[in-house]
Amino acid sequence: MAGSETAGTTKTAATTGETRPAVKCLVWDLDNTLWQGTLLENDELRLRPGVLKTLRALDERGILQSVASRNDHADAWPRLEALGVAEYFVLPHIGWGRKSDAVRTVAEQLNFAQNTIAFIDDQHTERAEVAYHLPDVRCYDAAEAAGLPDLADFAPTVTTDARRRRAMYQEKFRREAAQSEFNGPDEDFLRSLDMRMRIARADADDLARVEELTLRTSQMNATGVHYSDADLRALLTDPDHEVLVTTVEDRFGSHGAVGVALLERQPASWRLKLLATSCRVVNFGIGTHVLRWIADQAALADVHLEADFRRTERNRIMEVAYRFAGFNSKPCACQDGRAADTDAPADVQRLHLVPQRQAAPTTLTATGPVLWSGDGAEKPWA
């Protein structure tokens, strides 16, 4: 599912006039590219000029970095550690196979399209081999290493979560390793993660992350409607609207902001205008938990719940979630006498639910602001 998140595009179009996706992962050769010298020849290895600055700059922008090197892993990895840069790399491929195979495998393991991968190597023959087998991968000469951060290809839109992206992938790989070693039902594995879900009223700092979520989560977005930063900012202070952001943590680390919901209060019903959840957490059922939590709050408030839904080619999973939660298309008295809707696109359906109290999930702990009365203080879902 992670690969269904569309790539961010570069801020400025390439010189061809077309916008191509920003690079999401750069794969480094080691000998005479990352470091000066050749490991096998027992050279005294040091990072090439400008390389450390590039590693740090790309890392801060959320661009992942990997390794494709012809060496023995057991010899090369300790050198990266000694140089203090091992932490920057995910999924290193240090061995004796073809570089194109290493680059392809990195793309597959990350679930990234090949046109979001870049490769840097001092050897023309290696670049040509990768370019031949993987024509969408962008190849760079080692001489360009110091200048990469200045290229538009390496200038994605940077968000709060982007700065943690590498750490989040490293946590994900540890989580997956734990899951593959776990013997027992999936539900027991989920409990073993010690997951905490927090639903909170969004503040201005959350909005960039929220906007990115609504752009990137096309499969998990119930309306396919994009709410801009300005749209949502205006609603933050609107007493009739709630902009809610969901974050999830577990014993491996934080998943960051993984969900956004936009709720409009009406006298007899609450209207869910936007519900989007990151594909990163679909296996944990976070979208369903958020939907059930909102239904529980609506039941406590004694109001009906409505949800805007627009079928797109990609969001069938959301339709299933709504239907499974009991939403349907039948008319209800709570809709009587309401002024015509002016801000919803014409092809948006209005789904409806008479909500019931919902039991808290058994696989995680959850907190959220009390929406139905009082000051909105955050309370455990119980």
Catalog residues that contact Zn ion under the rule CB under 5 A. Answer: 304, 332, 334
CA nearest to 284, candidates 194, 363, 204: 363
Contacts (Cβ under 8 Å, ≥6 apart) of 35: 45, 46, 47, 48, 51, 79, 83
290 with 259: CB under 8 angstroms?
yes
φ, ψ of residue 253 in degrees (nearest 5):
145, -165
Mind giving me the DSSP string for 175-238?
HHHHHHH--S-HHHHHHHTTEEEEEEE--GGGHHHHHHHHHH-GGGBSS-PPPPHHHHHHHHT-
Side by side, the strands of the sheet bearing 117-121 are: 93-95, 64-70, 25-28, 117-121, 138-141
CB atoms within 10 A of CB 270: 24
- C-alpha dihedral sign at 370, 375, 378, 382: negative
List all residues 6 or more positions away from 55 whose beta carbon is below 8 Å from its beta carbon.
Answer: 65, 85, 88
- Rounded-to-integer distance, Cα 128 and Cα 107, Å: 18
* Segment holding 352, helix H or strand E: strand 349-353
Both tokens assigned to 53: 């600055």
φ, ψ for residue 335 (rounded to 5)?
-95, -5
Q: Give SS3 for 99.
A: helix
